[in-house]
Structure 1
Amino acid sequence: MKKKLIYLFATSVMLLGGCKKGYLDINDNPNSSTNASSSLVLTGALNNTAATTTGNSIFYSFAALWMNYWAPTGGLSGFFEERTYNFTSNWSGSTVLWANLYNNLEDYYYIEPKAAAEGKPFYVAIAKTMKAWDYQYLVDFYGNIPYSQALQSTKYITPKYDKAQDIYEDLAKQLDSAANIFKANVGKVPSGDQTYDIFYKGDAAAWGRFANTIKLRLLLRQSEMPGRTAYIQAEIAKITANGLGYIGSGQSAKSNPGYLNSDGKQNPFYGNYGFTIAAIETPTAQHNYYLASDYGMNFLKVNNDPRLKQLYASINDNKGTTYVSIPWGPDPTADQKIDKVSSIGRALLKSPIQDQYIMADFESLFIQAEAAQRGLITGDPKALYQAAVNANFLYLGLTSASATNYMTNQDVANWDNNTDKIALIIKQKWVAMNGTNDIEPWIDYRRLELPADMPISTASGVTTKKIPVRMLYPQGEYNFNSANVSAEGAISQFTTRLFWDVK
């Protein structure tokens, strides 16, 4: 299968340490680069973040299935690991995520001291923020990882593994430092430096909100842990003191270096799941692979949710008039193909030059709504929740009036009609994150077991009826950092939980 061969090839190259980076990434090895300016490396690093996290196919190839947004077409015999949850340390989900994130971190490790030497504190703060972004996901995927000795090959050939909670606590400090640097540089970023920032175009206040929101997300991960409330409140007080706040409506973090409808330069999500650059619109292979899952579509149908026609196409790739889904897990049958089943919707695949969302405003607002409902931040949780739903409707090309009507007339979205506010927030967040960042709902499910009715795969090869709680360390670590990774003990994707997963 083409998808599997691509992943196998990519994994092999990454394990050899010579992975070819993407569009605008100018460094093969930032650790040995001494001449590139921090400006040039920054643009490539940010573009690489977009291409290897929220825009990358590996970010969706398992999480979109496990969270029942999409289901694989019956025209393929693959997806064994995704369908059965029975994967190994050689599985692309584990190996490619690890390689992509550490690869991206190399650039930010280069930028931070280089920018400091060049007298560019704004870039220093961006590097700190984006290192926290990458490391948070590495922890959320794997738990304990190389951190304090990571990416220092001249000093540490086999870096030790740091405790996941210790890493989280240090990331919180790094984000505080970044947010305070951003605050000090509001309105002071030179116009020449603004050009290289493909997220916020030199807007230091916007970057400060982004850093604060990443930190709030990091803290909220820990909200179910006994004895952690005082720590979380103390850390949130630091965000409050910073004064820049969090990402609000219309303030999404998103990337666009100048995407083009040409090979290798399309918006990465569109390039993976949309259409080729041919004059006649031709679906990519990935576009044909992923179809609508029953659970995801039926929730929208039953509750008259107008986002149905935005998140999914009608059958035959929008040439038909009906919306059809398939169950998650059963062994493939010939009729589970794009001509008979709904595919990924055009509100997610707007254009080859669309912005690549890193953190959408609606994700931030859902995070704030949950934090407010828990009493961790000030603010009206109902207002934050309604703003989140409204922002998602707008993102999908719908109107505020339709969002208001939905939240008023549909019990599943009506704040006042739901006694369990956290469950309501997480369910609507699950709807909204479809095709934007499917990893976050998987993390919410692990820490909260919500949505509570999330189906388990019914594939014949399922031996453990449980959605995995983590990734396995990649085989490359067992090959080249054996003593340190082996010291972590036996790892199971079903039972070796992360420190914040206590439900």
Structure 2
Amino acid sequence: MKLFKYIFWVAGAALILTGCSKSLEKINRNPNEAETVQPDYLLTNGIKANVDTYWGTDASMETSMLYVQYWAKIQYTDPDKYIPAATSIQTVWNNFYAQGVKDFTTLAQLGDSLHNPNYKAVALIMRSWIFQTLTDLYGDVPYSQAANIEKYPTPKYDAQKDVYIGILAELKTAVGLISPAGNPISGDILYNGDLTKWKKFANSLRLRIALRISDREFATAKAVFDEIGADDAGLIAANTENAQLIYQASPNQNPVSKNRETRSDYRISKSIVDKLRSFNDPRLSIYAALPRDTNVIIGVTNGLPTDSASRLGLYRTSDAGAVFTVNTAPAVLFNYAELLFIKAEAAQRGLLSGDAADLYKQGVTASLKQYGISDATTIANYLLQPGVVYNTVNYKQSIGEQKWLALFGDGLEGFAEWRRLDYPVLTPAYQGNLGGKMPYRLTYPSGEQALNGVSYKAAVAHQGADQLITPLWFDAQQ
């Protein structure tokens, strides 16, 4: 009898507590706050936040832009000497996972629940682009168990090979889902709802990744090229189709422009100025600004000692040109020139049919035209220079140097392709902190060591020492 009384008492208490809990939930509910996510808002915010990270201070200005010697520093020079701030490494990781992978995973799920596969397709494309960026930078990263913290609070790190092959499959799925004649999407600040362009972006990304793994997985890469082919109807086919976010006035300005509002510690690198000059390249006056005091374009050597860099002053060396520093400067994720250079290398290596030399010339021309250099005589004369003429014997030098120039401003992609092609030949930072070597990756953030230690240690054991100089799987030449 006492047992039954106890059971009834517990049951009654539970009912009271449940009622209290529901009352509290009702009281604490904000009537002005949406309880379901709207896909258009999620898409807009997802694109803006992740492109900001991609072109922002931590992933670009303080790391990749310096490593690939697009920019240099005249103040606070530690990052230019390969001493990145721990906060930069952590911020890149946190932003891409929390604001990128998580948000686009949610958007993909919304695409299913709303019966709009076009939202799911766009979400898969953006998420794949983010995963490509993450693995390019760090190597082995959480992929298959990412964005599911309820089930996997300490996700495993997938091998870089598996990440690339996984996102190739996701991009193929996304292409199959896209239906330009189907339900429209809203909130698209990248392509303004043009689903045909999203399909071209996805296929172009597939070719980028296939080429990136081709030194390790030639057969896999060949299968992708065989499937997609060279048909411009399914690929980025003009500068007007570049994947890029066009920024607006403050507070929605380009991250580079926003940075220049309060800082003046970045300058164009001497390495790229020297290369542009050696080619009599008309992009020099576009990529670099004239300093106020010298009125001559002057690049800065990477990795100068702090005192030497400071003595250069603020007005005697060149910042990046206005095309990159104005409020509305576009943040480019994939340009037409890159796609043509991909085709050229693929043709040279037997991954794709076509004339490699002609595709290379088309790539150079597309880059020049991207920056308003359209005069046919100027372009023809540029292509005839000995240093620019396509070198079949050393195609990696020709493509590597011109691709490096065409990707200026896009530090992350430029850094990845420089590692893969080993051109241009760059001299390590003057006072570099890596014993005469250059970085090949970012180290994992300290937060992973503290919160996901078992998975972190397994990744290091598989990939190699958690150091800037540890080459990644795709970089087969190292």
Per the alignment, do residues 47 and 383 of structure 1 end up closer, same or farther by CA in structure 2, a change over 3 Å counting?
same
Per the alignment, do residues 383 and 370 of structure 1 end up closer, same or farther by CA in structure 2, a change over 3 Å counting?
same
- Which aligned pairs between 1:22-171 and structure 2 lie closer than 5 A? 35-56=36-57, 58-73=59-74, 76=75, 78-83=76-81, 85-87=82-84, 91-103=86-98, 104-171=100-167
Structure 1's consecutive aligned runs of 4 or more residues displaced over 4 angstroms after TM superposition are 241-244
Report the identity percentage: 29
Using the TM superposition, give the Cα deviation of residue 433 of structure 1 relative to its aligned residue in structure 2, in angstroms. Answer: 1.3
Q: Does structure 1 conserve the Cα–Cα contact (< 8 Å) formed by 2:243 and 2:335?
A: yes
SS at match of 2:276: helix
Q: Does structure 2 conserve the Cα–Cα contact (< 8 Å) formed by 1:68 and 1:455?
A: no
Which runs of 5 or more residues in structure 2 are unaligned?
A: 1-33
Structure 2: how far apart are the matches of 1:223 and 1:66? 23
What letter is aligned with 2:439?
P
SS at match of 1:348: helix
Residue by residue, what CA displacement relative to the aligned partner does 1:474-497 show, whole Å, maximum 9, x if unpaired?
000111111111222362435532
Look up the match of 1:382: 357
Look up the match of 2:17: none
Q: Does structure 2 conserve the Cα–Cα contact (< 8 Å) formed by 1:161 and 1:485?
A: yes
SS at match of 1:50: helix
Look up the match of 1:253: 243
What letter is aligned with 1:433?
L
Using the TM superposition, give the Cα deviation of residue 152 of structure 1 relative to its aligned residue in structure 2, in angstroms. Answer: 1.1
Using the TM superposition, give the Cα deviation of residue 57 of structure 1 relative to its aligned residue in structure 2, in angstroms. Answer: 5.2
What letter is aligned with 1:59?
S
Higher-Rg member (1/2): 2
Alignment RMSD: 2.4
- TM-score under structure 1 length normalisation: 0.81
Q: Does structure 1 conserve the Cα–Cα contact (< 8 Å) formed by 2:442 and 2:468?
A: no
Structure 1: how far apart are the matches of 2:57 and 2:123? 21
Structure 1: how far apart are the matches of 2:272 and 2:230? 40
Which runs of 5 or more residues in structure 1 are unaligned?
A: 1-32, 277-283
Q: Does structure 2 conserve the Cα–Cα contact (< 8 Å) formed by 1:393 and 1:400?
A: no
Q: From 173, 176, 179, give the equivalent of 1:180.
A: 176
Q: Does structure 2 conserve the Cα–Cα contact (< 8 Å) formed by 1:50 and 1:56?
A: no
Per the alignment, do residues 254 and 297 of structure 1 end up closer, same or farther by CA in structure 2, a change over 3 Å counting?
same
1:457 aligns with 2:457: no
- Which aligned pairs between 1:395-434 and structure 2 lie closer than 5 A? 395-401=370-376, 404-415=379-390, 419-434=393-408
Q: Does structure 2 conserve the Cα–Cα contact (< 8 Å) formed by 1:60 and 1:439?
A: no
Q: From 339, 347, 369, give the equivalent of 2:344.
A: 369
What letter is aligned with 2:421?
L
1:202 aligns with 2:215: no
Per the alignment, do residues 361 and 210 of structure 1 end up closer, same or farther by CA in structure 2, a change over 3 Å counting?
same
Structure 2: how far apart are the matches of 1:210 and 1:202? 13
- Which aligned pairs between 1:470-485 and structure 2 lie closer than 5 A? 470-485=441-456
Residue by residue, what CA displacement relative to the aligned partner does 1:360-408 show, whole Å, maximum 9, x if unpaired?
2222222222222222123332232222222222222222426523433
Q: How many residues align?
A: 438
**Structure with greater proportional helix content:** 2
Q: Does structure 2 conserve the Cα–Cα contact (< 8 Å) formed by 1:390 and 1:400?
A: no
Q: Does structure 2 conserve the Cα–Cα contact (< 8 Å) formed by 1:310 and 1:348?
A: no
What letter is aligned with 1:82?
D
Per the alignment, do residues 241 and 325 of structure 1 end up closer, same or farther by CA in structure 2, a change over 3 Å counting?
closer
Look up the match of 2:471: 497
SS at match of 2:72: strand
Residue by residue, what CA displacement relative to the aligned partner does 1:177-210 show, whole Å, maximum 9, x if unpaired?
111222xx133343xx2x4211112222211110
Structure 2: how far apart are the matches of 1:296 and 1:164? 30
1:438 aligns with 2:411: yes
Look up the match of 1:327: 301
SS at match of 2:267: strand
What letter is aligned with 1:462?
N
